[in-house]
Structure 1
Amino acid sequence: MAYETNDAFAENFTEIGKDAPPRYLGIRFDATGTFMPTPGNTVVSHVVPGSRTEAALARVRQGLMDLPYGDRFAYTPVSSHHMTVFQGIIEGRRKPDYWPEGVALDAAVEQTTSLFLDRLSSFPRGDPFHMKVVSVTPLGLVLEGATERDEYTVRALRDDLVGPFGYRHPDHDSYTFHITMAYPKAWLPAGAEAAYLPALAALKDSLAQEIDMVELGAPAFCEFTDMTEFRPLKFLS
């Protein structure tokens, strides 16, 4: 998720070389930016409600909305901001490596949620970790452990969750931690990077003056019906 160069930004966000609409249009949200039903479950750490981080991230979100062509993105609510620790299952992604081993690919989402809750009932309490912001992108924030120890701790937690969930995503080891604030509804025009890259850098610098680390709650196994709310069912630390 490194978009700091013109070529990387253009490849990921502009219309250049694209012959299809953005990946989640018509799946997670519609052309108006209204989020659609996409039930699933996941392990996330929510941004602490009422914290300095929540307020700072709300300002970043508004900054993204105010950018040229900001209306080409669907924005998640501030109350939903979180960092995914381990990807659960989601409707529309029913295939091996993304679905618990031994569970039918047509099983109801609610069945997997009950299964995971049962398996997590004796999950050991994990060590705390802290995250910092690496960069601001049109989609939100890229994060990493505040120290090498923090990075090791959160990735060890991901490793430990492979057992209860019964799968290991292909990007398990290379996964980039992030906080999603927006999804593209339409590609940006060619050349948009000229305005976006300096603006994103300025948002990152402004954010760094407000917070040193991202205030996150304890990792929690959650259920969701769409991308606007992730309801905790069990805290893991």
Structure 2
Amino acid sequence: MRADLSSFPAYLHFASLSHSPDPTPHLGQRYDTAGTFLRERGNTVVCHLVEGSEAAAAITDARSRFTQMPGADKLAFTAASSLHMTLFQGIIETRRALPYWPSDVPVETPVDDMTGLFIDRLARFEPGDTFAVEVTHATPNGLTLDGVTERDRAILKDWRNRLADLLGYRHPDHETYVFHITFAYMIERFDDQTMAAWVTFLDEVTTEIRRRAPVIELRAPAFCAFDDMNHFEELLVFEPK
């Protein structure tokens, strides 16, 4: 029996073949059809999970459940040790174009040179206030997050705006960026029957995480370098005020 497509929340349409028939982004560039991650170097500012926290346990348990779901073979799972929330996107070698790159630096600049340049610029960065985040919902890619309160959301925006000003670029989605913790990338989108099973499952996951960890404990924001999506090496840590 065909699933009722109206039962799929709009924020899940990207995962549904019926709603999004186009090829999945990043396939063949970030990862292959076997789910193996490919070399794709860059840098970024992230907050890793606090090891040993209830939030980390709840999120790790949820990720494990994802791997057992119908259609899990259509997902390329990142390493559990890489779980983090991206605070501000850095540069990446596969996206050498404005406005994803500082306008005052040639787009041909090697990644290692860009990382060194950003470290120099970030030496002048003043960390912002502490913030608290919560899980808002789950998708086949992982979890979406937001500030718990309006003040938390304003603090997150302040961090991002000042990082953008200092590093010299803003992505087109700078104002609308959705905070998230990635579990996996889609190799293939789900058919309607698989998608219907995930809709119920993702609601359950969201409820369970919010019960166990109403606030997601994160380590201090850190500027990181990476070779692929499985490890983010902390180079500079910004302890909030």
TM-score range, shorter chain: over 0.9
2:101 corresponds in structure 1 to 99
1:44 and 1:18 map into 2 onto residues whose CA distance is 29
1:115 corresponds in structure 2 to 117
2:177 corresponds in structure 1 to 175
1:11 and 1:141 map into 2 onto residues whose CA distance is 15
Given the alignment, which residue of 73, 76, 82 partners 1:74? 76
Q: Structure 2: which amino acid aligns with 1:218?
A: A
Q: Percent identity?
A: 41
2:21 and 2:63 map into 1 onto residues whose CA distance is 28
Q: Given that residues 127 and 159 in structure 2 are in contact (C-alpha distance below 8 angstroms), is that contact kept between their aligned partners in structure 1? A: no
| TM-superposed deviation, 1:14 | 2.1
Could you list the per-position Cα deviations for residues 12-64 of structure 1 after superposition, in whole angstroms to 9, with x for gaps in the alignment?
Answer: 11222655431111111111111110000000111112222111111111111
1:55 and 1:147 map into 2 onto residues whose CA distance is 23
Report 1:52-201 matches (<5 A).
52-201=54-203
1:52 and 1:46 map into 2 onto residues whose CA distance is 14
Q: Given that residues 134 and 210 in structure 2 are in contact (C-alpha distance below 8 angstroms), is that contact kept between their aligned partners in structure 1? A: no
| TM-superposed deviation, 1:196 | 1.2
Count of aligned positions: 234
| TM-superposed deviation, 1:11 | 3.2
Go from structure 1 to structure 2 and tell me whether the alpha carbon gap of 1:124 and 1:139 turns closer, same or farther (over 3 Å shift): same
Tell me, yes or no, if structure 1 residue 47 matches structure 2 residue 49: yes
* Unaligned runs of at least 5 residues, structure 2: 1-5
1:20 and 1:173 map into 2 onto residues whose CA distance is 26
Q: Structure 1: which amino acid aligns with 2:85?
A: M
| TM-superposed deviation, 1:210 | 1.1
State the TM-score, normalizing by the size of structure 2: 0.92
Tell me, yes or no, if structure 1 residue 208 matches structure 2 residue 213: no
Go from structure 1 to structure 2 and tell me whether the alpha carbon gap of 1:19 and 1:193 turns closer, same or farther (over 3 Å shift): closer
State the TM-score, normalizing by the size of structure 1: 0.94
Could you list the per-position Cα deviations for residues 193-227 of structure 1 after superposition, in whole angstroms to 9, with x for gaps in the alignment?
Answer: 32111111011111122111111000011100000
Q: Given that residues 29 and 36 in structure 1 are in contact (C-alpha distance below 8 angstroms), is that contact kept between their aligned partners in structure 2? A: yes
